[in-house]
Every structure is written in C-alpha cells, then in structure tokens.
C-alpha cells in the first residue's frame, strides 16, 4: 500500500502574493512528490510497508531514509492542509485556548515567529497539542514532533522554513515569509487537527 501525493484544495497561484505560484508548483510537484516516492521506495518490503504514516514516524531508531522522507511526506501533507487562500478565522473557543496558553494571539505569533526565524538551516516551526494544551517548537530537516526525541506533541500547524519554501519570492528575507504566512492560515483546519488530537 503506497503513499500518494495529495491533491491541493486550491490552485498553485491561489496563495499569491504570500506564496508565489512557481514556488507552490515546484514545492508540491517536485519536492513533496520526491519525498513521497522515496518514502515508498524506503518502506518497500520492510516492516513499515502496511503501517500508517503516524505509526511509522513514532517508531524509535527509524532508518534515516524513512525518517527524512516519511517526515517530508507527512509534514508537507499537513502544510497544504493548514493553508488557505481565504481567511479562515479561528473560533472564539480556540482563540481563548491560544490566550490561555500564550497570553494573547500576538504573543503566540511572536513565539512561533521566533522559533521559525531562529531554526538554523532547514526545518520547521510547529504549534503542537499535548494533553489539550498548546505549545510551540521547531525541528531540523524533515523531523517533526511525532518522532521520538522530537519536541513531542501532535503538530496542528507547521511552517516549512526550508529555503525551497520561500527563496524565489523572499530570498534571504525569511522573517517576511513568516509574517506573510499568518494571512493564509486556515484556522478551521488547525482547529480540526486540535480536536482530533484530544
Ligand atoms: Mn518543503
């Protein structure tokens, strides 16, 4: 049972000007497709072949090809889901949860931006759910919070800070990309992931 590259719910150009169409096309059809194909190759004929991606990622001491490509497959699936060309606002209940966890929505965004901006080299910033509470962390490469030794919790929102995610439009200006991200977050999808994590 092979993993499949998911279709996007929006066009490559739909997130402009925040994320440009060329970046989206290459990111989805080349990078994400590559992780998907290489994950399928890496699990072929192994104990991982019929496991869910979550089960695979939670396994200790993963072979490095499965860690990198399994993470790449999962992280990008999540990333496309939590983006939207339309402003999908958070509910009052979820805003209250953010305020309880971080003091305010602005404080949450500031902490998240800090995690994303200070990740040296390639990686991801995450908003996680653990025991009903929210937390922020970052991971290197294609690692994620589900992995053993990761920052722990269930990722419900993630931002790709690999240069392939923003370099065509933003070059070295990663903070501008992080700032633009908030305008295209699908909070309904984030909230659904939070509910599913409970
Ligand atoms: Mn990426």
- Decide: 57 and 152 in contact? Cβ < 8 Å: no
Evaluate whether residue 71 is within a structural domain: yes
Longest distance between any two alpha carbons in the chain, whole Å: 49
Task: Give distance in angstroms: CA of 104 to centre of ligand 1.
Answer: 29
Q: What is the mean pLDDT of residues 132-151?
A: 93
Task: Give distance in angstroms: CA of 167 to centre of ligand 1.
Answer: 11
Task: Give distance in angstroms: CA of 106 to centre of ligand 1.
Answer: 26
Evaluate whether residue 12 is within a structural domain: no
- Decide: 140 and 78 in contact? Cβ < 8 Å: no
Q: What is the mean pLDDT of the chain?
A: 96
Rg of the chain in Å (alpha carbons): 16
Buried/exposed 47-63: b ≥16 CB within 10 Å, e otherwise: ebeebebeebbebeebe
5-14, 148-157, 169-178, 181-190: lowest mean pLDDT where?
148-157
Evaluate whether residue 24 is within a structural domain: yes
Evaluate whether residue 8 is within a structural domain: no
- The whole-angstrom separation of Cα 135 and Cα 129 is 7
Structural domain containing residue 76:
19-198
Evaluate whether residue 107 is within a structural domain: yes
pLDDT given for residue 149 in this prediction: 81
Claim: this prediction has a pTM higher than 0.85: yes
Task: Give distance in angstroms: CA of 96 to centre of ligand 1.
Answer: 31
Evaluate whether residue 191 is within a structural domain: yes
CATH number at residue 160: 3.55.40.20
Evaluate whether residue 144 is within a structural domain: yes
Task: Give distance in angstroms: CA of 32 to centre of ligand 1.
Answer: 7
Task: Give distance in angstroms: CA of 23 to centre of ligand 1.
Answer: 10
Task: Give distance in angstroms: CA of 143 to centre of ligand 1.
Answer: 12
Is it the case that residue 1 has pLDDT exceeding 70? Answer: no
CB atoms within 10 A of CB 91: 11
Task: Give distance in angstroms: CA of 40 to centre of ligand 1.
Answer: 18
Inter-residue long-range contacts of 71-74, CB under 8 Å, 24+ positions, other chains counted: 71/35, 71/141, 71/142, 71/143, 71/144, 71/147, 72/31, 72/32, 72/34, 72/35, 72/38, 72/39, 72/142, 73/3, 73/32, 73/35, 73/36, 73/39, 74/144, 74/146
pLDDT given for residue 151 in this prediction: 81
Q: Tens of pLDDT along 47-75? A: 999 999 999 999 999 999 999 999 999 99
Is it the case that residue 198 has pLDDT exceeding 90? Answer: yes
Task: Give distance in angstroms: CA of 151 to centre of ligand 1.
Answer: 19
- Decide: 150 and 144 in contact? Cβ < 8 Å: yes
Evaluate whether residue 154 is within a structural domain: yes
Task: Give distance in angstroms: CA of 97 to centre of ligand 1.
Answer: 29
Q: Specify the number of domains making up the chain.
A: 1
């Amino acid at each position: 049972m092979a993993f499949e590259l998911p279709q996007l719910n929006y066009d490559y150009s739909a997130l402009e000007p925040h994320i440009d169409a060329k970046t989206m096309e290459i990111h989805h059809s080349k990078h994400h497709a590559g992780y998907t194909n290489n994950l399928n190759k890496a699990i072929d004929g192994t104990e991982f072949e019929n496991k869910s991606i979550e089960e695979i990622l939670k396994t200790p001491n993963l072979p490095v090809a499965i860690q990198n490509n399994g993470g790449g497959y999962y992280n990008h699936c999540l990333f496309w889901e939590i983006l939207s060309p339309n402003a999908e606002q958070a509910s009052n209940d979820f805003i209250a949860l953010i305020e309880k966890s971080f003091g305010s929505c602005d404080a949450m965004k500031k902490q998240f931006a800090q995690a994303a901006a200070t990740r040296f080299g390639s990686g991801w910033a995450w908003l996680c759910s653990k025991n009903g509470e929210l937390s922020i962390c970052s991971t290197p490469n294609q690692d994620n919070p589900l992995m053993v030794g990761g920052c722990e919790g269930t990722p419900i929102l993630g931002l790709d800070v690999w240069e392939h995610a923003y370099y065509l439009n933003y070059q070295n200006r990663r903070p501008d990309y992080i700032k633009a991200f908030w305008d295209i977050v699908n909070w309904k999808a984030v909230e659904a992931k939070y509910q599913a994590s409970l």
